[in-house]
Structure 1
């Protein structure tokens, strides 16, 4: 990583155990505590981390990022090497799944396995014609929600809960997670808080060049996890990833939408540990 970049991390399990590195989407709290704990019980050193401009990682200007998707991928590889001499199991969720795909393609020597959760194989923006895009009716309802006072913790948490209800996620879990995300952000500045909660930095990030056509190059065991009810990245995106990555396994969570429910922790952990 560049000398001026620091990443917020949290450790679970034995530091001498094989590393599972969880890239946030965008903050590390996208990865539920029960899943991290289940992976640690399975004999792994679990490290979840915040992407740049989120959580406890370096925050400069989330509305005008001076780095690219490739830089975020390089962060993942550098962090993996710093934490363990052995290749790591890299996992990414949502936009973190895009980081993970590019990291595994650009830095294959750093990773021994890959898990991709609730993500797709193209950058934010217009989607490929053969991939399902965001559900338009759900997105209309989501974007019609009144914006919160981004400097007010309770207002932000209520907004997160309302958005979760629209998307099919658990509102109570989203409320509690939003409180934690709010508290971990470096300030109550509205731009910083909205970036932490919405991941809008990706709308302004240079994600070129495309990487979907390179997916057949991946030569590590890969697990694709996707919620059957996900209206943001519909399940067809996960199905396409599993088809295009050689030997990938697809795990569809029948009752999940965009977030990983705590109740799925043991099932997802078992699948990840089997790689």
Structure 2
């Protein structure tokens, strides 16, 4: 039997704060991911956009076996799988897209601007016939849980909840780095894979920022953590404005987190700092589409090129003038993905993958 926390969509598409005990709030690839400088309003939007690789939902527990049945509601639905990986489901198409979010990736966008941004990113894929499953890292990860271990967690949830295979995996930033390991170790779990804004490893400066910000988040000092990100991303913005923006973002993004968040944010940051995917990239035997911006301050174009060069069959798309953020909203992004899929038929075509059945009604705790 599968246990799953779930809230009906209409309870979450509002501007009100979500319930006190949440599944989480997110981004340390906001924590270690600096968009290119832009006007002040653009700065606020970029920082907020980084938050969308985050947040969590809560509710009552329901128990029900998942069956192979397509979802029909286009409204966002939140829940948690039996292995502790929370999800946000958007769209209702017959094809399945598993979204591996940036870090810290154990949270979901539950409402307000963060949810709307997540919906805007997923809508083109929903329109193209996909149900988008934004799936977090599992909760209460043990110390030393590596990116390879997190990839194993995603393979497990695909096996247990999606009938063993999804149509498309999309990994963003930190999620893209985990997706390298999924591609190397579990190519049988998906038909196609897209990796966005991710290189084989973080630079030393970014590792330091990542760990410092994660420590603050784990101590409940979200405002200071966000201010640290803003200081690093936008040093030319007046310091008082950076402090205020950091505090506002800290409250917005991390006001409600699940009980294991303090642990998980550190485990993931330590895993990212220790990761270097160059050891596994040559083991990837399936085609990969890697998308990046040539102005990404975390992964310079030379790193994208080196990363692509280590993957035996990699198509690299570098968007001129683009940084770490904004790639998903590029009009050409969806077309590049669909073209890649059309030009690289799955090695073993299969019927549409299974959609886990969802129950939009609240149930009693079990």
**TM-score normalised over the length of structure 1:** 0.68
Give the 3-state SS of the residue equivalent to 2:155 in structure 1.
helix
- For the pair 1:59 / 2:140, whether they are aligned, the reply is yes
Q: Superposition pairs for residues 1-275 of structure 1, below 5 Å?
A: 5-14=83-92, 17-26=94-103, 27=105, 33=118, 34-52=120-138, 58-59=139-140, 65-81=143-159, 82-122=161-201, 133=203, 151=220, 154-165=223-234, 180-186=252-258, 191=262, 195=266, 200-202=269-271, 207=275, 211-260=277-326, 263-264=329-330, 266-274=331-339, 275=341
User: Contact 1:185 / 1:193 at 8 angstroms: preserved in 2?
Assistant: no
* 1:81-100 Cα deviation digits (max 9, x unpaired): 32245443222222222211
Query: What runs of 5+ residues in structure 1 fail to find an aligned partner?
Result: 53-57, 125-132
Change (3 A) 1:153 1:67: closer
In the alignment, is the contact (CA less than 8 A) between 1:29 and 1:181 conserved in 2? no
Determine helix, strand or coil for the equivalent of 1:20: strand
Ranked by relative contact order (alpha carbons within 8 Å, sequence separation 6 or more), the top structure is: 2
Q: Provide Cα deviations, 1:4-55, integer angstroms capped at 9, x if missing partner.
A: 84011111111x5222111122226699522222211111121112224xxx
CA distance in 2, matches of 1:175, 1:256: 27
Aligned-pair distance for 1:154? Answer: 4.9
Across the aligned residues of Structure 1 and Structure 2, the Cα RMSD in angstroms comes to 4.1
Q: Residue 179 and residue 35 in structure 1: after superposition, are their counterparts in 2 closer, same or farther (change >3 A)?
A: farther
Q: 1:106, CA displacement in angstroms?
A: 0.9
In structure 2, stretches of 5+ residues that fail to align are: 1-80, 237-241, 342-366
Evaluate the alpha carbon distance shift between residue 175 and residue 5 of structure 1 in structure 2; reply closer, same or farther with a 3 A threshold.
Answer: farther
Structure 1 distance, partners of 2:133, 2:328, is 18
CA distance in 1, matches of 2:314, 2:148: 23
Cα distance in 2, alignment partners of residues 20 and 4 from structure 1? 19
Moved more, 17-26 or 177-186: 177-186
Quick check: 243-252 or 42-51, which moved more?
243-252
Question: Matched residues in 2 for 1:20 and 1:231: separation?
Answer: 28
Partner of 2:363: none
Q: Assess if the C-alpha contact under 8 Å between 2:166 and 2:191 holds in 1.
A: yes
